[in-house]
Structure 1
Amino acid sequence: MSLITTDAIVLHVVPYLESSRILRLATREAGVLSVVARGARSSKKRFGSGVDLFAEGQAQIHVKPGRDLHALNAFDVTRSRVGLAADLGRFTAASALVECVMRVVHDEAAPRVYHGVAAGLDTIAEAAEGDTVALTLGVFWRLVSEVGFMPSLDRCAECQAEIPVDADARFSHVAGGVLCPLCAKMAAASRRLPAAARSVIAAWIRGDQPNVEPADCRAHQRLLREFLTQHLPDSRDLRAFGVWEQGRW
Structure 2
Amino acid sequence: MPLLQTDAVVLHVATYLESSLILRLATREAGVQSVVARGARSSKKRFGSAIDLFAEGQAQIQTKAGRDLHALTAFDVTRARPAIATDLSRFTAASAVVESVLRLVHEEAAPSVYDSLVRGLDQLAAAVPDDTASVTLGAIWQLVAEVGFRPTIDRCAECHTPLDPAADVRFQGAVGGALCGDCARLAPGGRLLPPAARAAITSWLDRLPVPLEAVEARAHQRLLREFLAVHLPDNRPLKAFQVWEQGKW
Q: Tell me the TM-score normalised to structure 1 length.
A: 0.98
Provide, for residues 32-67 of structure 1, a one-character-per-residue CA deviation record: whole Å limited to 9, x for no partner.
100000011233231123531111000110011111
Aligned-partner Cα distance in 2 for 1:22–1:106: 18
Counting only pairs closer than 5 Å after superposition, residues 154-193 of structure 1 correspond to structure 2 as 154-193=154-193
Are 2:230 and 1:230 aligned?
A: yes
In structure 1, the residue matched to 2:90 is 90
Counting only pairs closer than 5 Å after superposition, residues 10-21 of structure 1 correspond to structure 2 as 10-21=10-21
Contact 1:99 1:240 in 2 (8 A): yes
Secondary structure of 1:85 counterpart = helix
In structure 2, the residue matched to 1:103 is 103
Counting only pairs closer than 5 Å after superposition, residues 197-212 of structure 1 correspond to structure 2 as 197-212=197-212
Higher mean Cα deviation, 47-56 or 195-204? 47-56
Paired residue type of 2:42: S
Q: What is the CA distance between 1:190 and its match in structure 2?
A: 1.7
Q: Tell me the TM-score normalised to structure 2 length.
A: 0.98
Are 2:74 and 1:79 aligned?
A: no
Provide, for residues 2-61 of structure 1, a one-character-per-residue CA deviation record: whole Å limited to 9, x for no partner.
001111000000111222110000011111100000011233231123531111000110
What is the percentage of aligned positions where both structures have the same residue? 63
Secondary structure of 1:51 counterpart = coil
Aligned-partner Cα distance in 2 for 1:129–1:179: 34
In structure 1, the residue matched to 2:66 is 66
Paired residue type of 2:111: P
Any gaps of 5 or more consecutive residues in structure 2?
A: none
Aligned-partner Cα distance in 1 for 2:223–2:191: 9
Contact 1:50 1:75 in 2 (8 A): no
Secondary structure of 2:4 counterpart = strand
Q: What is the CA distance between 1:173 and its match in structure 2?
A: 1.0
Runs of 4+ in 1 over 6 A off after TM superposition: none
Secondary structure of 1:207 counterpart = coil
In structure 2, the residue matched to 1:41 is 41
Q: What is the CA distance between 1:189 and its match in structure 2?
A: 1.5
